[in-house]
Structure 1
Amino acid sequence: MNSIKVGIIGCGSITRFRHAPEYADNPYVDEIIFYDRNTERSQALADEFGGRIAKSVEELWNDPEIVAVSDCSSNETHHIITSTALRKGKHVLCEKPLAVSVEKAEQMIKAQQESGRKLMVDHNQRFSKAHQKAKEWIASKELGDVLTFKTSFGHQGPEHWGVNQSNATWFFKKDRSHSGVAGDLGVHKIDLIHYLLDDEIVDVQSFRGALDKMDENGNPIEVCDNVVSVLRTKKGRLGTASFSWTYYGSEDNSTTIYCKKGILKIYHDAQNQLIVETKDGEIINYQLEPIQTNDNQTSTGVIDAFVDAIIHDKEPAVTGKDALSSLKVLEQMLK
């Protein structure tokens, strides 16, 4: 397979800033077909990125030339769109969180297994150079075993990032977002901890609330805008996690890993994205790449990894089962 045509379902901000430009830059992708219920939105992206539009989702399913699909729909339809795409013979890159419940995510994994197609989930933090370098350090055991960790992900909220720049955003709606900031930002960091530590979070104690955000009618939003959790992994590591839509200053996307012989600080410093501090006082600074933020859109590497898995028939870098294990932790956080 030398080149592929891809479809994108849902033409909001995640498509405009991440999926579409990264497919357009990928040498193996020769056409993007956009579908959105709002035809003006899909046409605008087709004009911007040099693709074409599908007038209906059935047109996209029934096009034998479309090999793969990005599911960029809102959370509550992932299990329907991704499962249908797989059963129609398409490989799928699904946005996170995988689904609004573990039960629905399991339906998607069943569809993937029965179809024999690839399912990858957009947990993009695995692809950042600082996180990959930190994983190398942890795996090498040069700093000894990991004991504890803390991780944060917060910014000013999706109403500043979404396509309409409005408090009417679907992220604030219980029936569409389901999990609020936990599913928007938190699930990224759950996946990251699983990846970095080669471990799994098994015990969760959590506080959450809608502390500040208001919807378009001036009422408190129906989902959480802040979550603070205490976590324990299968291998006995202890950690804390904070996720927020109310960090009204610069974005925080930092993680600290405390080992027996030193500390790894990831995305604490704008210049040195990874700082290694050893027990005996040595400091090693890595200048790798800035973290992608809503204000600084850079290539995530996710699209390239997805296309590479299709072209070279490899297992995707983030499988449905990986995403399911993160979703199980997310459900515990929301209990």
Structure 2
Amino acid sequence: MKAGIIGCGSIAKYRHAPEYKANPYVDEIVFYDRNPERAEALAMLFEGSFVTTVEELLQDTTIDMISDCTSNESHHVFSTKALLSGKHVLCEKPISLSLEQAAIILDAEKQSGKKLMIDHNQRFTKAHQKAKELIKRKELGDVLTFKTSFGHKGPEHWGINSTNSTWFFKKDRSSIGVAGDLGIHKIDLIHYLLEDEIEMVSAFQGSLDKVDEQGNPIEVCDNIVCTLKTKQGRIGTASFSWTYYGEEDNSTILYCQKGIIKIYHRHDCPIEVITENGERNRYQLESIQTNDNQTNSGVIDAFVECVRNDEEPQVTGQDAWLSLRVILKMVEAAESNQVITI
């Protein structure tokens, strides 16, 4: 099969392109970026080809699937066009900046009959899949409460230009800051692990430390901390940050009736289970992918398989819509100082 990538920034360079290149069913990658030099550079790096207009990519009938790696404000434009051009689409998270934009993509999916998958990659780690298995088997009873975190030193260290001019800091392009960049991953993860949905939120947010290229505080939040309640009555906390300067934190702790499941809480052990009598069981699985430690996320392989076998994607557009809805209400709760029911 043949894949196309729209947007040739870091997420394309370090994740999508190398994973397509490594997949045995993908023969070629075609790149497009509004900056043609970026597309040409990735085409050379991954032995693919590039086009200078997005129309060339969309009109190429030999391309089976497209990764939408554009910035957040463009997802509803390019993913929609790609679907309606007869391509299967893997869209980066968040699916869009609003529920209305997300609905445009979901309508295009329905109209086209093509696959739409969203890159919520935390579902694909072996540790999170093992944790879901433990929860499902109720080895520790039901999950009662939880806390989850996702933070690192900020997107200006990750982006293609590695400067404070990054689009992540712009209100019109990223809209919801760290909540849409990192927070939405963990909301999707909680939904996935618990097979439950968050229905109430409260939060505090702020631009605590990040500045733009002029040295002014950024237009979006670099930290948000919230409390959450699910439909099944579980309660928890979540912290998302671009100011964890010492090291990345991507941990989740689940407190159950008969013990605790700690995920990515220790560097030497992806999962630690502590029973109510103090027994500790450690599962030596792979380390989680980080900005500084790029490993195969499994997302591209899963996307290719769902296309090959005509299966439902492991992260659907509806899944992504539900997570976006929570994130938007989280930011609204922080801005209004209210507890909000979703």
TM range (shorter): over 0.9
TM-score by length of structure 2 reads 0.97
Give the deviation of 1:271 after TM superposition. 1.2
Give the deviation of 1:284 after TM superposition. 0.3
Alignment pair present for 1:43 and 2:31 = no
Q: Equivalent of 2:131, from 127, 131, 134?
A: 134
Q: Equivalent of 1:99, from 96, 100, 117?
A: 96
Query: Partner of 1:291 in structure 2?
Result: 288
Q: Equivalent of 1:165, from 162, 167, 177?
A: 162
Per-residue CA shift, 1:237-296, capped at 9, x if unaligned?
A: 000000000001110000000000000000011111000000011110011011111100
Instruction: Specify the SS of the correspondent of 2:64.
Output: strand
Query: Partner of 1:207 in structure 2?
Result: 204
Q: Equivalent of 1:327, from 324, 333, 336?
A: 324
Per-residue CA shift, 1:11-62, capped at 9, x if unaligned?
A: 0000000000000000000000000011110111000000000110000011
Instruction: Specify the SS of the correspondent of 1:84.
Output: helix
Q: Equivalent of 2:84, from 84, 87, 90?
A: 87
Alignment pair present for 1:69 and 2:70 = no
- Which structure 1 residue ranges, 4+ long, deviate > 4 Å from structure 2? none
Specify the code of the residue in structure 1 equivalent to 2:35. Answer: N
Please list every run of 5 or more consecutive structure 2 residues that lacks an aligned counterpart in the other structure.
333-342
Alignment pair present for 1:233 and 2:267 = no
CA distance in 1, matches of 2:235, 2:272: 21
What is the alpha-carbon root mean square deviation over aligned residues? 0.5
Q: Percent identity?
A: 66
Give the deviation of 1:334 after TM superposition. 1.1
Q: Equivalent of 2:218, from 217, 221, 225?
A: 221
CA distance in 2, matches of 1:121, 1:328: 15
CA distance in 2, matches of 1:22, 1:244: 27
Instruction: Specify the SS of the correspondent of 1:290.
Output: coil
Aligned pairs for 1:253-264 within 5 A: 253-264=250-261
Please list every run of 5 or more consecutive structure 1 residues that lacks an aligned counterpart in the other structure.
none
Q: Equivalent of 2:150, from 135, 150, 153?
A: 153
Instruction: Specify the SS of the correspondent of 1:273.
Output: strand
Aligned pairs for 1:170-209 within 5 A: 170-209=167-206
Query: Partner of 2:108 in structure 1?
Result: 111
How many residues align? The count is 332
Specify the code of the residue in structure 2 equivalent to 1:138. Answer: I
TM-score by length of structure 1 reads 0.99
Query: Partner of 2:338 in structure 1?
Result: none
Specify the code of the residue in structure 1 equivalent to 2:276. Answer: K
Specify the code of the residue in structure 1 equivalent to 2:240. Answer: F
CA distance in 1, matches of 2:116, 2:20: 17
CA distance in 2, matches of 1:216, 1:154: 22
Give the deviation of 1:103 after TM superposition. 1.1
Query: Partner of 1:32 in structure 2?
Result: 29
CA distance in 2, matches of 1:203, 1:111: 30
CA distance in 2, matches of 1:111, 1:165: 34
Specify the code of the residue in structure 2 equivalent to 1:92. Answer: V
